[in-house]
Chain A
Amino acid sequence: MTNTKTLITPASAKRAQILYGVVLIVLGLLIYLLFVRTTEAGVTTTFGLNLANAQAIKVPDLVVPAQATVLAMAAIAIFVGAYQLARGIPSTSTLIGVIAVTFIIAFLTWSAQDKSFSLTGMLSSSLVRATPIALAALCGVISERSAVINIGIEGIMLMAAQVAVVTATVSGNLYVGLVSAIIVGGLVAAFHAYLVIHFKVDQTISSVAINIIGTGTTSFISSRFLQKATDTLNNSGTFPIISIPVLSKIPVLGPVLFENNIIVYLMLLLVVIMNIVIFYTPWGLRTRAVGEHPKAADTLGVNVYLVRYVNVIIGGMIAGLGGAYFTIGSVGRFDEVMTSGKGFIGMAAMIFGKWNPIGAFTSSLIFGFADSLQVKLQILKVPIPSEFLLMAPYIVTMIILTGVVGRAIPPAADGKPYEK
């Protein structure tokens, strides 16, 4: 069928080419209008590359002329846009990259003009903030690769977060909290798996019920017990930062990647492990087959239900780890509804990452970046209300889901119960 495919230029491709070109040019003009004209001439922007308490070897900060940099970004966007209209650039991700990079550099240079902005600090906090999102996304990846949708990640993370802090406080050992969180995550996911696999409950409904029960239970326990006994039940402390010897000395990369707590390291490790398991091992092959065509797997003697149970439960354990991050990984105490939609943002990261562990992680980083950017901008006193900056990750999620920036195809059997 391929021999005749080229008879007609696809109209949709032509439309996409024009769309991206126009977007780039508009972006360039926007950068010019919004940022270049409001940047004072001769002012510089300093991007800090060192962190105060980091082990890394100090390097000089990056100082750039603000107006020239912003102008350069506007020029790049317009130039690439014009080239796209004239010739076309085949790689969509390059185009998206140009859009994102020019806008972000221009925006940061503009907002930090005449000030210093810690770039390393923001990258580091991006990774930290991406951690729970990435773990939620990994939970989604592993269950949906076997065709079970789990929107209950938010609820799982809440319950795990609470259990982690309580067990850690009571036992006085953070690792007890970590393990309990993982176990609770696995148990709740097992409940979801039981409902959707055994009883064939609609997967979205079951997930929503888990979210409601998760929110209800944690708030119930919180107001009935934790609030009255904060010191004895809800005050665990947090995991210390572990500096990896030698590696943490690398400038910029060192403080970002190699000075983190155990949950961040575990997350990075899980990304690698899951990528290997899904694509290079028999279990991964079976998981993918079950997610795409369960009947085919069944006829070859693969136990579809077993694969789904195991994957959903492993996913729950990963989400449990993500839950632990909220309490014993960051603030050392539980607050009601503290996950604030991170589980759902993880779902978006999973979709944007095309159901691949590495893709999911990369997209989580984008969300983490948006999240930490918002905090930094508040500090820089950018004249935009903080509430609007807080909306950014949610809006980014919605844009991603439109699939305008690369449509992803879910596993073919995703969300469908399997009947023998």
Chain B
Amino acid sequence: MSETVSPKKTKQEHERSTSLRQELLIPSLAVISGLIIGAIIIAVSGASVVDAYGALFKGSFGSLSEFIAGIKSFTATGDQTELLKAIYPFTESLVAATPYILAGLSVAIGFRCGLFNIGAEGQLLIGSLCAVFVGYSVKSLPAFIHLPLSLLAGAAGGAVWGMVPGYLKARFGAHEVVNTIMMNWIAFRLSDWLLSGPMKSPGFRPVTQNVLATAELPRFFAAPLRFNWGFVIALIVAYGVYWFLFKTTLGFEIRSVGANPDAAKYAGMNIIRNFVFVMALAGGLAGLAGATQVLGVDHWVGQGFSAGYGFDAIALALLGKSHPFGVVLAALLFGFLRSGATDMQSMAGIPIDIISIIQGLIIVFIAAPDIIRWIYRIRTAKKDEMVLTRGWG
């Protein structure tokens, strides 16, 4: 296709590149504005913004001097320890980004079909419980079967959890926003029960057993680095979702149903099937997020495992404009923020919840680009904003 470049096509490509710049402009400014307001809140709460954001930055990227020292010591002595220590913060950010990518995709694919999945959190939790269960209970399988089976179990668990509100929406028109939230609470209670009863490991704490080594996602470096294949899986899945949404007939259906359900019905598409299918898919992606986290990083599940992922995922999908590649970029950003925030909490005493506030603000700015346009006095052509949600239906 690229060999015969007609003038029209280059013009179109030109339009695409300027529109890409436009698309990136508002999200970037939204993130910057969120960070600025976050800084103000930190200052008002009586802490040093420089200390806080310094710790945040160092916690997410590491420091350049340590990295250079690490390289030097490695080339000089062949000792990896220093180098690994230097790249530790950076890899931790990628580790944090992994479930974000998948959970963000979960919400994004819902948006594409006109569904608002607030239930990523519950789906992720159920996914992790299913994955951990298969991970520790199914014994004496080779890794090349056990690991995929555990991942699949996670995805399947999430899919079931997502499918229920999808079905209720399709069949009864029950609003998926409230129902996915209810499913979250049911998941929390179910998990409380499982962790204190049937799935509780021997001992005092309400946690599960560790998964077997055959179900663990392999790590790239020696401990304490936790960077693992989950990240690669997430990237591959993101590409897969992109291909699915934009290059296949099924994706075309989903996007059509999302953009105009009446026209989709007119064109012979089955709305009900699409709603159920997309919610199952969304749940599956969130479940997979839980599975990669449990199989790649934690290896067990305890209470509060899923805390906050659901709302973060919404912010990610919005920030990434519900495009898989946008979601990946947004997830990387959030991964850096989250992983740095841990350092910020321990070193500067700023509660990690500041990140939630910043995320909430980012959502506001993305959803109301007029605020950003007004603050920064930008004039951009207003495009058709995507319809994200509908009323009670």
B45 on interface, CB distance cutoff 8 Å: yes
Which secondary structure dominates where chain A touches chain B? helix
- Chain B 168-184 residues near chain A, CB threshold 8 A: 168, 171-175, 177-179, 181-183
Does chain B have a CB within 8 A of A351? yes
Residues of A within 8 A of B388 (CB): 202, 204-205
0/1 interface trace, chain A 319-337, chain B, CB 8 Å (1 if under): 0000000000000000000
Most buried by A among B45, B182, B192, B359: B182
The smallest C-beta distance from A340 to any residue of chain B, in angstroms, reads: 7
Does A240 have its Cβ within 8 Å of any Cβ on chain B? no
CB distance B392 to A410 under 8 Å?
yes
Cross-interface CB contact of A195 among B177, B353, B354, B364, cutoff 8 Å = B364
Residues of B within 8 A of A205 (CB): 318, 363, 367, 388-389
Confirm or deny: B186 has a beta carbon within 8 angstroms of a beta carbon on chain A.
yes
- Measured CA separation A224–B345 after assembly (Å): 10
- Contact, CB under 8 Å: B172 / A216: no
Q: A208-B311, A208-B314, A209-B364 are in contact. Are A415 and B390 (CB under 8 A)?
A: yes
Residue of A195, A202, A391 near B389 (CB, 8 A) is: A202
Which of chain B's residues 302-341 have a Cβ closer than 8 Å to chain A?
311, 314-315, 318
* Nearest residue, chain B, Cβ from A217: B357
Pick the residue among A203, A224, A387 that contacts B351 (CB under 8 A).
A224
Contact B174 A401 (CB under 8 A): yes
Q: Is A213 an interface residue (CB 8 A)?
A: yes
**A79 vs B125: C-alpha distance when bound (angstroms):** 44
Among residues of A, the one whose C-beta sits closest to the C-beta of B356 is A216
Q: Give residues 173-224 of A contacting B (CB, 8 Å).
A: 195, 199, 201-206, 208-213, 215-217, 219-220, 223-224
Within 8 A of B (CB), among A243-275: none
B389 with A410: CB separation less than 8 A: no
B351 touches A220 (CB 8 A): yes
User: Is B185 in contact with A391, judged by CB distance below 8 angstroms?
Assistant: yes
In the complex, the answer to whether A348 meets B45 with C-beta atoms within 8 Å is: no
Q: Does A216 lie within 8 Å of B360, measured CB to CB?
A: yes
Report whether B315 and A387 are in contact in the complex, using a CB–CB cutoff of 8 Å.
no
Asked if residues B356 and A212 are in contact (CB atoms below 8 Å), the reply is yes
List the A side residues contacting B177 at CB < 8 Å.
Answer: 151, 204
Chain A interface residue count, Cβ-Cβ cutoff 8 angstroms: 47
Chain B proximity mask over A372-402: 1 for CB below 8 Å, otherwise 0: 0000000000000101101100110110011
B179 to chain A: which residues have CB within 8 Å? 398, 401
In the complex, number of A-B residue pairs with CB atoms less than 8 Å apart = 145
A216 touching B392 by the CB < 8 A rule? no
Cα A195 to Cα B350 with chains together (Å): 29
CA distance A347 to B118 in the complex (A): 15
0/1 interface trace, chain B 346-385, chain A, CB 8 Å (1 if under)? 0001110111110111011001101100000000000000
User: Which of A216, A347, A348 contacts B359, CB < 8 Å?
Assistant: A216
Interface hits, B139-194 → A, CB 8 Å = 168, 171-175, 177-179, 181-183, 185-186, 189-190, 192-193
Select which of A351, A395, A397 is within 8 A of B392 by beta carbon. Answer: A351
Task: Find residues 97-144 in chain B having any chain A CB closer than 8 Å to their own CB.
Answer: 116, 118
User: B391 at the A/B interface (Cβ < 8 Å)?
Assistant: yes
Q: Do the beta carbons of B168 and A387 come within 8 Å of each other? A: no
Contact between chains at A223 and B353 (CB < 8 Å) = yes
Q: From B181, B190, B192, B360, give the contact of A209 (CB < 8 A).
A: B360
Give CA–CA (A203, B197) in the complex, Å: 41
On whether A199 and B311 interact (CB within 8 A), knowing A220-B357, A394-B186, A401-B175, the answer reads no
Report whether B118 and A208 are in contact in the complex, using a CB–CB cutoff of 8 Å. Answer: yes
- Contact check: which of A203, A216, A348 meets B353 at CB < 8 Å? A216
A212 engages B168 (CB within 8 Å): no
CB distance from B371 to the nearest CB of A (A): 6
Give the distance to chain B from A102, nearest Cβ to Cβ, in Å. 25
Task: Check A416 for interface membership: any CB of B closer than 8 A.
Answer: yes
**Within the assembled complex, what's the spacing in Å between the Cα atoms of A395 and B178?**
11
CA A114 to CA B236, docked complex, whole Å: 61
In the bound complex, residues from chain B placing their C-beta under 8 Å from that of A225 are 45
Complex: A243 Cα to B280 Cα, angstroms: 53
Chain A contact residues, CB within 8 Å of chain B: 149, 151, 195, 199, 201-206, 208-213, 215-217, 219-220, 223-225, 340-341, 344, 347-348, 351, 385, 387-388, 390-391, 394-395, 397-398, 401-404, 410, 414-416
4 other contacts beyond A209-B361, A215-B311, A402-B172, with CB at 8 A cut-off?
A201-B368, A209-B360, A217-B353, A344-B182
A–B Cβ pairs within 8 angstroms, 28 of them = A149-B392, A151-B177, A195-B367, A199-B371, A201-B364, A203-B389, A204-B388, A205-B388, A206-B368, A209-B360, A209-B367, A213-B360, A213-B364, A216-B355, A216-B357, A219-B356, A220-B45, A225-B45, A351-B392, A387-B189, A390-B189, A391-B189, A394-B182, A394-B185, A395-B186, A398-B182, A401-B174, A414-B391
3 shortest interchain CB distances as A-B pairs: A216-B356, A415-B391, A213-B360
